[in-house]
Amino acid sequence: MAQSHKAPSGSLSRMVERVLLASPRGYCAGVERAVETVELALEHYGAPVYVRKQIVHNIHVVRDLEARGAIFVDEETEVPEGATVVYSAHGVAPTVFENSARLGHNVIDAVCPLVTKVHVQARRYAEEGYTVVLIGHEGHEEVVGTMGEAPDATVLVQTVAEAEALDLPADTRLAYVTQTTLSVDETGEIITTLRRRFPEIRAPRKEDICYATSNRQWAVKEMLPEIDLLLVIGSRNSSNSNRLVETARAAGTNAYLIDDETEIDEAWLDGATTVGITSGASAPEKLVTRVCDWFRTRGVTSIEPYRLVEEDVTFRLPVELRRELELAARS
C-alpha cells in the first residue's frame, strides 16, 4: 500500500496546476442497486443481514454497511439457518442457491442484471451442445459464478496467448461469453484471435462487457492527452478499477490505484502539471470529493470536470426485496 507523504499546505502549487475529473466515473447502475439492496434489507428486516462475499468490490462501502449491521461471509454455508442473505452483484453459481435452499435462507439476489445475462447465455449455449469459452480472470467472483452454470462445458481463456494455445477437437462447436468488467481493447484482441482460429465460433448478440466498464475506459482515453498523471479511486480487488489503470499505462501515462486520499504518494506528482482523477464503478463519489479536497488543501484551485457525460441506466431492485417492500407498504 502506498504511503502518504503529507506536505505543508500549498506545496503542490508549484507543480500541479489543474485537476481534471473524468466523466462518467464511479457508481454504475448495478452497484447502486446492490448497495441499496443491502441498505433497504437492513431497514426492513433489521440487523443482522448477511451478505455473501463483498456486495461490491470497495472496502469503504463494505465498512459502511458493516457499521449498519451487515455481516459479510465468504460462503453461504456460514449463514445461520433461516437468516436473510444477500448475494453480491457479481453473481453466484447454481450450487449456491441449492445450499441456501437447504438451509432455509431468505435469499435476496443482488446480482447485476448484466451479469445475469452472461449466465443465461452460458447456460443456453451449453444446453445447445456448445463448448463455452469464457473470457475472464481466474478466481474473480463473476467468473466463478458464470463457470458454475455449466462447469463441464466451459473453458476459461484469460489472454491472447491462451486463445492461441486453445486445443480442442476439430468438430467442437464453440461459443464465447465474457466477464463484464474486462479491458475493452484486450478482450477485443482475444476475440479476434478466437475468430481467426475458430471461424464458426458463436458470439453473443450483444457484447458482454458492460456499458459502465466501456464508458469509464473511454472517458480515461479521452482525457489522457490533457493529463500527466491519472489517479484511479478503487479497491485492489476491483477488476474494472484495475482496467482503468492499465488503460492509462498502455498509452504511456503514469497511473495509480488508490482506495482514498491517504494513499496518495506526493512523489508521484513530481513534474505533473495536470492530474486526472477517475473512479471505478464500485467507488462512491464521496471518495472523489475527498481526493479533490486533498488537492485543494495543497493549493490547487483549478479542479474541473473534463467534459460531462451522464449515464441514465437504472435497474429495479431484486424481485424478492421489491415484493417484501410492496407488501409492507400495503399493511
CA–CA separation, 97 and 296 (whole Å): 48
Spatial contact of 210 and 28, defined as CB atoms under 8 Å apart = yes
Cβ 119 vs Cβ 97: under 8 Å: no
Per the annotation, the verdict on 142 as an active-site residue is yes
CA distance 227 to 220: 10
Q: What gap in Å lies between CA 175 and CA 194, rounded to an integer?
A: 10
Count CB neighbours of 132 within 10 A.
23
Adjacent-strand bridge partners of 71: 50
In degrees and rounded to multiples of 5, residue 49 shows phi and psi of -115, 130
Rounded Cα distance between 140 and 72, Å, is 17
Of 32, 76, 141, 142, the active-site residue reads 142
Q: Using the Cα atoms of residue 289, residue 294, residue 298 and residue 304 in order, give the sign of their dihedral.
A: negative
Residue (of 97, 118, 105, 58) closest to 79 by Cα position = 105
Residue 211: partners with Cβ closer than 8 Å, 6 or more residues away:
28, 114, 311, 313
Q: Count Cα neighbours of 36 within 13 Å in the Cβ-side half-sphere.
A: 16
Just list the catalytic residues: 142
